[in-house]
C-alpha cells in the first residue's frame, strides 16, 4: 500500500474541485454529462473546457500534476498507469490489491452509502483504509 499517494488522494478529495470539473461522480472515471460523451474525443477534455465534466476519485487522481508526473493519467474517459488501465491502473499506482481498488474506485453503495456519493465520504473511507489496512 502506497500510503503517501493514498493520503494525497484524500487531500484532493477534500479540496475544491479543479476548474475543469463541474462535479464529482463515482460512476465515471471521467465523462461529460452535458455532451453525453464517454471519452472518444480527447479534444473534449482540453484544459479550461468545462461543460459538465465529472470524475470519480480515480479520475480526479489522474488530473493531479503530482500523480501525472508519477505516470497516472487520463486518456479520453479512462485512467492509465504504465501498461494498465481502469481499476488495474488504480491498484498498481496505489499499490493495493485489485479487489480493494475495485471497491474503492467503484460506486459501491455498501461502502459509501446512498448516492450521490460525496468526495468527502470517499476521502473518509480511504483514510480509514490507510489507517487500518481493511475496507469496511
Question: pLDDT tens digit string along 51-103?
Answer: 444 568 898 898 889 999 999 998 877 889 999 999 999 999 999 999 999 98
pLDDT more than 70, % of the chain: 72
Q: Nearest 5°: CA angle at 28, between 108 and 121?
A: 45
Which H or E run includes 41? Answer: none
Residue 22 near residue 30, CB atoms below 8 Å: no
- Quick check: bond before 18 cis, omega within 30? no
pTM of the model: 0.81
pLDDT band at 23 (very low <50, low <70, confident <90, very high): low
Amino acid at each position: 500500500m502506497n500510503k503517501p499517494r493514498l493520503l494525497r488522494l484524500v487531500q484532493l478529495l477534500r479540496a475544491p474541485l479543479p476548474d475543469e470539473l463541474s462535479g464529482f461522480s463515482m460512476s465515471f472515471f471521467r465523462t461529460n454529462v452535458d455532451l453525453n460523451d464517454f471519452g472518444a474525443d480527447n479534444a473534449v477534455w482540453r484544459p479550461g473546457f468545462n461543460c459538465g465534466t465529472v470524475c470519480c476519485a480515480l479520475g480526479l487522481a489522474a488530473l493531479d500534476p503530482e500523480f501525472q508526473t508519477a505516470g497516472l493519467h487520463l486518456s479520453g474517459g479512462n485512467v492509465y498507469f504504465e501498461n494498465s488501465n481502469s481499476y488495474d491502473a488504480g491498484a498498481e499506482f496505489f499499490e493495493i490489491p485489485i479487489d480493494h481498488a475495485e471497491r474503492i474506485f467503484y460506486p459501491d453503495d455498501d461502502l459509501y452509502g446512498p448516492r450521490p456519493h460525496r468526495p468527502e465520504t470517499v476521502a473518509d473511507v480511504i483514510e480509514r483504509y490507510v489507517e487500518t489496512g481493511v475496507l469496511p
